[in-house]
């Protein structure tokens, strides 16, 4: 890679990182190209030349963030089958809790802005694809019932995780409960069609995550 190309890539990543910072600070709709240009110390025409417009730029910023997250999950674990499925879901929940302002801003945009529909579909498809890999491994190992379709199950799990994220955004779940909700949805769905010895660890994961969702008993002082 020559020096000019390397510098362009570095500038692109700096701009995408700046976009994510401003999304967290101002929300998706509140970010302007002029503000981003000033934040990244580049010209407005540079932003348009590199990305083609605000929607394309913000979509690139969000997609690169989630692509990095999923790549880190793949690189950070050699786990397979059901363990891989649970690890992907846990990593997504932990990332939301690590950058809560950013992810809440994204979720609000996804709910309110029609122009984010294609981006929502892309991100959901990316998560479902990662889950599908683990489910396919399970099916090849005969750990899933023969009738199960891994792509359909992966999409159902993804929908459950999105619903948990919506509850988190609404304040119905705290960070720890978000992780528990996502893992409970995933483990119970997979457990319902799992076969053989894999059922035991899946049930253990379902029980543990359910415990994280149970309300704490009132103390004697408040009862």
Residue 40 is part of which domain span? 1-62
As a 3-state breakdown, the chain gives helix, strand, coil percent values, each rounded to 5, of 80, 0, 20
Structure tokens, 5: 């190309």
pLDDT confidence tier of residue 218, bands split at 50, 70 and 90 = low
pLDDT digits over 146-180, tens only?
999 999 999 999 999 999 999 999 999 999 999 99
Q: Are residues 104 and 181 in the same domain?
A: yes
Maximum mean pLDDT: which of 69-83, 98-112, 122-136: 122-136
pLDDT reported for residue 217? 61
Cβ neighbours of residue 170 closer than 8 Å, sequence gap 6 or more: none
CATH number, residue 49: 1.10.10.60
Does residue 209 lie within any of the structural domains? yes
Q: Are residues 44 and 82 in the same domain?
A: no
Q: How many domains does the chain have?
A: 2
pLDDT reported for residue 71? 77
Q: Are residues 112 and 190 in the same domain?
A: yes
Q: Are residues 57 and 86 in the same domain?
A: no
Average pLDDT, rounded, for the chain: 88
pLDDT digits over 133-154, tens only?
999 999 999 999 999 999 999 9
Does residue 223 lie within any of the structural domains? no
Find the distance separating the first CA and the last CA of the chain, reported in whole Å: 67
pLDDT reported for residue 1? 63
Q: Are residues 29 and 99 in the same domain?
A: no
Residue pair 27/109 in contact by the 8 Å Cβ criterion? yes
Residue pair 88/131 in contact by the 8 Å Cβ criterion? yes
Euclidean distance between CA atoms 181 and 155, whole angstroms? 16
Per the model's pLDDT, the better-predicted residue between 217 and 23 turns out to be: 23
- Residue 2, pLDDT > 80, answer no
- Residue 193, pLDDT > 60, answer yes
pLDDT reported for residue 220? 45
Does residue 218 lie within any of the structural domains? no
pLDDT reported for residue 3? 66
- Residue 98, pLDDT > 70, answer yes
Q: Are residues 113 and 44 in the same domain?
A: no
């Amino acid at each position: 890679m020559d020096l000019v190309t390397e510098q362009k890539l570095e500038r692109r990543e700096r701009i995408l990182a700046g976009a994510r910072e401003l999304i967290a600070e101002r929300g998706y709709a509140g970010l302007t190209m002029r503000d981003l240009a000033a934040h990244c110390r580049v010209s407005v025409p540079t932003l348009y030349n590199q990305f083609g417009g605000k929607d394309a730029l913000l979509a690139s910023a969000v997609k690169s963030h989630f692509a990095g997250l999923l790549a880190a999950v793949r690189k950070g674990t050699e786990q397979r089958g059901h363990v891989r499925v649970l690890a992907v879901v846990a990593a997504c929940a932990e990332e939301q809790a690590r950058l809560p302002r950013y992810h809440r801003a994204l979720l609000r945009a996804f709910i309110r802005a029609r122009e984010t529909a294609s981006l929502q579909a892309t991100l959901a498809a990316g998560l479902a694809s990662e889950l599908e890999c683990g489910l396919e491994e399970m099916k090849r190992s005969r750990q899933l019932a023969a009738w199960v379709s891994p792509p359909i199950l992966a999409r159902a799990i993804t929908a459950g995780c999105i619903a948990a994220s919506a509850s988190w955004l609404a304040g119905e779940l705290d960070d720890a409960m978000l992780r528990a909700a996502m893992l409970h949805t995933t483990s119970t769905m997979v457990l319902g069609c799992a076969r053989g010895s894999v059922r035991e660890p899946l049930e253990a994961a379902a029980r543990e995550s359910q415990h994280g969702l149970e309300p704490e008993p009132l103390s004697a002082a408040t009862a």
